[in-house]
Structure 1
Amino acid sequence: MDITQSFLIGDSWTDIEAAEKTGIKAFKINKNESILSICNEIITPNKH
């Protein structure tokens, strides 16, 4: 797994913190929120 190309999208601060401790870029969303805007941010060059 290439950690520089790995991302986590989650609604739990515990998951976000755990991902960031391992070097994975994490995005926090609200429960039942669409992940579309985060996905667009991930795939847009020079955004992360």
Structure 2
Amino acid sequence: MSKSNEAKAREQRLAAKLRENLRRRKGQAKARADADLAAPDSTESGQGKKP
């Protein structure tokens, strides 16, 4: 395999990994947002996230 073919193959692999990572992170963010909407806010009672 020549250097330019190796570089193209590497770029394609990296692009695929970036797309996969973006989909995964978007899914995680959506799940987190859905969980925030479904769960009652527990910060008023002093329990919940640390400052």
TM-score (ref. length: structure 2): 0.25
Larger relative contact order (Cα-Cα within 8 Å, sequence gap ≥ 6): 1
TM-score (ref. length: structure 1): 0.26
| More strand by percentage | 1
